[in-house]
Amino acid sequence: MKSTELAEPDVRPADPSAPAVRPATADERERRAAANAGEPTVEFTDRVPYDAYVHASTLHSLQQTLSKDPGEMSFLMVSQIMELYFGLTRFELLETQRLLRADDVWGALAPLRRAALHLEGLNASWQTLRWMTPADFNRFRDLLGEGSGFQSAMYRHLEFLLGLKTPSLVRPFRRQPEVYAELVESLESPSLWDDVIAVLARRGHAIPQALLDRDTAEEHEPHPAVEQAWVRIYEHNTPDNHLRMLGEALTEVAEQFGDWRYRHLKAVQRSMGAKVGSGGSAGVTWLQRSMARVVFPEIWSARTSM
């Protein structure tokens, strides 16, 4: 079973009870600055516009720790920041897919490059947990129970979109019907790499029809025809070779995502060594096996033949 329709990126509607942010023109901003003598506006008739847009007061109410240990705040907030980055990266990759399906390779480069930068920001998040030793983590770890980053639905969406398909990993969400349905759809839908391969076929590269028609709920197996397509694409480093630019942008996304997985592994080793994971996995061993799965495999293997 597969889905061929690409859903629009998930943009949640604003709280209808919250005041709308009123648009303003450049002329209005100039008049306001003149009336304020260059000082910022400090009087508003309703909710502060920044909070109405960013919902900062809501965001800062979501850090509900389970202990009084001050280090838990870092752990919780960094986890929440990573969740936001997972969602933002997925948003950009869905936009990349939409443009590739419209055969707009040039247009797809912008969201794909933004996705790589978001992943770079995601990677930087690990830096603020480098202080955590096993003793630090142990002060609140037991209170987490079976809670684990392994259970992040948004991370699974991101993995599936990048082509890392594991059907069993949707099972933890079966008792959350909406989340489960969205994950099943994400699992069964073509990955970004599937859409890239379809673009290669439409641009005249010899991609077998069986590869284009495969069950996209299953993880893509590297294929020599895809590898050879990339070898040929990289032979021409010209300004109009948009496929080569696409290959480099995909490489950056894959590399940054690989860096995140490596930093995750090192953070686990730093904070808990080889202990079993909170979610029931083998911890470090599980992460090492996960890292062996390559994102966009032929974009890497093709480099041997270039």
pLDDT tens for residues 211-225? 999 999 999 999 999
CATH number at residue 150: 1.20.58.480
Q: What is the pLDDT of residue 6?
A: 57
Clarify whether residues 52 and 195 are in a common domain: no
Is the residue at 68 inside a domain? no
Q: What is the pLDDT of residue 291?
A: 77
Q: How many angstroms separate the CA atoms of 268 and 282, rounded?
A: 11
Is the residue at 61 inside a domain? no
Clarify whether residues 36 and 138 are in a common domain: no
Q: How many angstroms separate the CA atoms of 99 and 106, rounded?
A: 9
Clarify whether residues 150 and 196 are in a common domain: yes
Q: What is the pLDDT of residue 2?
A: 47
Is the residue at 100 inside a domain? yes
Clarify whether residues 33 and 100 are in a common domain: no
Secondary structure of residue 37 in the 3-state scheme: coil
Clarify whether residues 78 and 50 are in a common domain: no
Q: What is the pLDDT of residue 19?
A: 55
Is the residue at 10 inside a domain? no
Q: What is the pLDDT of residue 4?
A: 47
Clarify whether residues 49 and 92 are in a common domain: no
Name the nearest CA neighbour of 148 among 277, 55, 49, 57.
Answer: 277
Q: What is the pLDDT of residue 273?
A: 83
- The whole domain housing 278 covers 74-304
Q: Does the annotation place 205 within a ligand binding site?
A: no
Is the residue at 2 inside a domain? no
Helix axis angle, 284-291 to 242-272, nearest 10°: 170
Q: How many domains is the chain partitioned into structurally? A: 2
Is the residue at 226 inside a domain? yes
Pull the structure tokens for residue 185.
Answer: 């759809």
Distinct helix (H) and strand (E) counts, the chain: 14, 0
Contact 159, 190 (CB under 8 A): no
Burial of 230 (0-12, 13-18, 19+ CB in 10 A): buried
Q: Does the annotation place 264 within a ligand binding site?
A: yes
Clarify whether residues 38 and 98 are in a common domain: no
Clarify whether residues 161 and 295 are in a common domain: yes
Clarify whether residues 98 and 189 are in a common domain: yes
Name the nearest CA neighbour of 202 among 245, 239, 243, 235.
Answer: 243
DSSP annotation of 47 reads S
Q: What is the pLDDT of residue 287?
A: 75
**Segments of the chain with pLDDT less than 70:** 1-19, 277-283, 286
Alpha helices in 55-150 (DSSP H): 56-59, 71-101, 105-125, 134-141
Is the residue at 62 inside a domain? no
Clarify whether residues 168 and 47 are in a common domain: no
Is the residue at 109 inside a domain? yes
CA-CA-CA-CA dihedral for 128, 134, 136, 138, to nearest 10:
130
